[in-house]
Amino acid sequence: MSLFRKKSLESIMAQAADSEKGLKRTLGAGNLIALGIGAIIGAGLFVRTAAAAGQAAGPGVTLSFILAAVGCAFAGLCYAEFAAMIPISGSAYAYSYVTMGELVAWIIGWALIMEYALGAATVSIAWSEYLNRLMGGAIPYEWCHSPFESFTDTAGVLHSGIINAPALIILLLVTLLLIKGSQESAFVNAIIVFIKVAIVLIFIAVGWQFIKPENHTPYLIPEGTAAVKDAAGKVIADYSGWNKHGWGGVLGGAAIVFFAFIGFDAVSTAAQEAKNPKRDMPIGILGSLAVCTVLYILFGHVLTGVANWKDFVDPEKGREASVAYAISAYMTGYGWLAKAVTVAILAGFSSVILVMLMGQSRVFYSMSNDGLIPKIFSDLHPKFKTPYKSNWLLFLFVGGFAAFVPGHVAGDLTSFGTLFAFVLVSIGIWILRKKSPNMERPFKTPVYQVVCALGAIICTAMIIGLDRQTLIAAFVWMAIGLVVYFAYSKKSSKLHK
């Protein structure tokens, strides 16, 4: 059998229409926009902004946001066309199965694990960091960090992590909510989204008056900037690489903050639960992306204006809880805001974890229905009609990463998986326009040749901008995926049978 056998559009549409056996259609346009914002505004904004500024872009992190947003906009238009045309859970996986065949669909489905599952792990780690900051560092370092993380305190004592227990707790709570149902999850998410958007706006409005122009000069990290070491002499930031300073640093920063835009594509995984997907999916995808892009640029400008970008190099000083640090250190008289921000961020992170885990379970649901992974991933709860067994398995997998892997490792791998998905979705629209020009398209990507080409090129450039270790780990993960496909999925595929 061909490795590029394709699912027919007819079979996918029939599957989407079978609402009695499948997922419940309970989400409207407002729910979808809230889901998108709920997934987008989170660790990417509150943690990765500072990481990108301290490691690659400096104050030019605002330019990194613009570059990442442009790539997302092109990919978002392609996602909107697919989601309106093929209203089924599975996102880029389902779209690739129709346009490029089973092997490519498997590859993208495997890559999406890096986006959604590792994305949830990264955010749960950030949730743990902010919880500890809120509690004044009451949680011992050993119990809220990975075994691969350590630091030397001012007294010269070395501390090493054992397990990130708070990250496991929040993952468990969100998993239980997801099993209860999509409508309940969307309601909780909407409340959280209102709170965290309000806090972002308050920080921008109040922080603007504390901006120091000298913190934005120079705007890009100069070539030749010396590496930064911690108290033990370990290098924690090296600016010698081409993507660690100047305009190269802007691209490197874009690859880092790209994680902040993950979420609008997660809206497409809920297509099979949308009441009117042909109209509501484009609104949910593009609407959430537009709102968050504006907030991100303003937020990055204020954060790097209030605190110097060098403050965000040291994780213990300012990078792990950058917003609370900037308020406490530089915004005199607003200590209450630091506490409020931390509480709101904790709630916001919870919504990101919720949408990421929902997205991953829906991708697994589609892959399981196609026979590429075991049936257990598509078993629905008899009462709640949610893929509850998949949710529990995800908790074990994501919990393992959250408990034992450093946050920056999972975060960079998440960016790779997302960018890879965006590249294939952009190419997929072009292929489908050529092969099925007369197919009904409730939403059409404008000037698709330009949009698809630029979406694929910009996202590929951001993949190249990732560090070497991340790229090696990502390709090892993809190689493992190919072994799984040829050992199990190829023969178990329903198209094969």
Note the pLDDT tens digit of each residue in 449-480: 999 999 899 888 878 878 888 889 889 999 99
Res. 298: pLDDT tops 90:
yes
Of 320 and 388, more confident: 388
- Distance (Å, rounded) from C-alpha 497 to C-alpha 257? 43
Q: What is the mean pLDDT of residues 365-387?
A: 87
**Within a domain: residue 1?**
no
DSSP string, 111-168: HHIIIIIHHHHHHHHHHHHHHHHHTTS-S-GGGBS-TT-EEE-TTS-EEE---BHHHH
Note the pLDDT tens digit of each residue in 198-218: 888 998 999 999 999 999 989
* 89 closest CA partner among 298, 273, 299: 273
**Within a domain: residue 434?**
yes
- Distance (Å, rounded) from C-alpha 428 to C-alpha 434? 10
As given in the structure block, the two tokens for residue 154 are 């001012």
Q: What is the pLDDT of residue 452?
A: 92
Of the segments 21-30, 144-153, 240-249, which one has the largest average pLDDT value?
240-249
Which phi and psi angles does 320 have, rounded to 5°? -70, -35
Neighbours of 450 (CB within 10 A): 11
**Within a domain: residue 289?**
yes
Res. 20: pLDDT tops 80:
no
Q: What is the mean pLDDT of residues 315-323?
A: 62
Place of tokens 């209102």: 194
Is 37:348 a contact under the CB 8 Å cutoff?
A: no
Provide the 3-class DSSP secondary structure of residue 27.
strand
- Distance (Å, rounded) from C-alpha 52 to C-alpha 396? 30
pTM of the model: 0.75
Amino acid, single-letter form, for residue 213? P
Res. 425: pLDDT tops 90:
no
Q: What is the pLDDT of residue 174?
A: 92
Q: What is the mean pLDDT of residues 160-171?
A: 90
As given in the structure block, the two tokens for residue 430 are 């072009």
**Within a domain: residue 2?**
no
Q: What is the pLDDT of residue 2?
A: 72
DSSP string, 272-308: GGBSSHHHHHHHHHHHHHHHHHHHHHHHHHHHHHHS-
**Within a domain: residue 4?**
no
Q: What is the mean pLDDT of residues 233-255?
A: 82
**Within a domain: residue 497?**
no
Neighbours of 438 (CB within 10 A): 5
Q: What is the pLDDT of residue 16?
A: 60
The burial of 453, by beta-carbon neighbours within 10 Å (0-12 exposed, 13-18 middle, 19 or more buried), is given as middle
Bridge partners (DSSP) listed for residue 160 = 150
Q: What is the pLDDT of residue 237?
A: 76
Q: Which domain holds residue 112?
A: 9-492
Rg from Cα positions in the chain? 22
Q: Which of 61-65, 179-183, 302-306, 358-362 has the least mean pLDDT?
A: 179-183
Of 495 and 306, more confident: 306
Pairing of strands 235-237, 158-160: unpaired
Note the pLDDT tens digit of each residue in 39-83: 788 656 777 788 888 888 889 999 999 988 887 888 888 888 887
Q: What is the pLDDT of residue 299?
A: 92
Q: What is the mean pLDDT of residues 130-147?
A: 84
Q: What is the pLDDT of residue 205?
A: 93
Of 38 and 143, more confident: 143
Q: What is the mean pLDDT of residues 313-332?
A: 74
- Distance (Å, rounded) from C-alpha 280 to C-alpha 288? 12
Neighbours of 344 (CB within 10 A): 22
Place of tokens 């669909």: 105
Strands (DSSP E) found in 335-401: none
- Distance (Å, rounded) from C-alpha 40 to C-alpha 348? 10
Q: What is the pLDDT of residue 17?
A: 61
- Distance (Å, rounded) from C-alpha 487 to C-alpha 478? 14
Q: What is the pLDDT of residue 44?
A: 65
Query: Which CATH number belongs to the domain containing residue 477 in this structure?
Result: 1.20.1740.10
Helix 277-306 to helix 61-85 angle (10° resolution) is 170
- Distance (Å, rounded) from C-alpha 314 to C-alpha 163? 21
Q: What is the pLDDT of residue 411?
A: 64
- Distance (Å, rounded) from C-alpha 300 to C-alpha 57? 11
Q: What is the pLDDT of residue 216?
A: 93
Provide the 3-class DSSP secondary structure of residue 7.
coil
Q: What is the mean pLDDT of residues 137-154?
A: 81
**Within a domain: residue 148?**
yes
Provide the 3-class DSSP secondary structure of residue 407.
helix
Domains in the chain: how many in total? 1
Model confidence band, residue 23 (pLDDT cutoffs 50, 70, 90): low
- Distance (Å, rounded) from C-alpha 171 to C-alpha 286? 28
Q: What is the pLDDT of residue 80?
A: 84
Res. 436: pLDDT tops 60:
yes
Please name the residue ranges forming H helices in 26-117.
29-40, 43, 49-52, 61-85, 92-99, 102-112
Of 415 and 246, more confident: 246
The burial of 219, by beta-carbon neighbours within 10 Å (0-12 exposed, 13-18 middle, 19 or more buried), is given as middle
- Distance (Å, rounded) from C-alpha 405 to C-alpha 408? 9
71: Cβ–Cβ under 8 A, 6 or more apart, which residues? 254, 258, 419, 422, 455, 458, 459, 462
Note the pLDDT tens digit of each residue in 278-293: 778 888 888 888 888 8
As given in the structure block, the two tokens for residue 118 are 């590792």
Q: What is the share, in percent, of the chain residues with pLDDT greater than 90?
A: 16
Is 57:219 a contact under the CB 8 Å cutoff?
A: no
Q: What is the mean pLDDT of residues 337-357?
A: 82
Q: What is the pLDDT of residue 315?
A: 63
Q: What is the pLDDT of residue 135?
A: 84
Q: What is the pLDDT of residue 482?
A: 94
CA dist 410 to 243, 473, 494, Å?
20, 10, 32
Q: How far is CA 395 from the centre of its chain?
A: 17
Q: Which residues of 368-383 are buried (b: 16+ CB within 10 A; e: fewer)?
A: bbbbbbbeebbebeee
* 244 closest CA partner among 262, 224, 263: 224
Q: What is the pLDDT of residue 166?
A: 92
**Within a domain: residue 231?**
yes
- Distance (Å, rounded) from C-alpha 262 to C-alpha 154? 37
Model confidence band, residue 317 (pLDDT cutoffs 50, 70, 90): low
Note the pLDDT tens digit of each residue in 259-278: 677 777 777 777 777 777 77
Q: What is the pLDDT of residue 167?
A: 92
Q: What is the pLDDT of residue 304?
A: 92
Of 66 and 231, more confident: 66
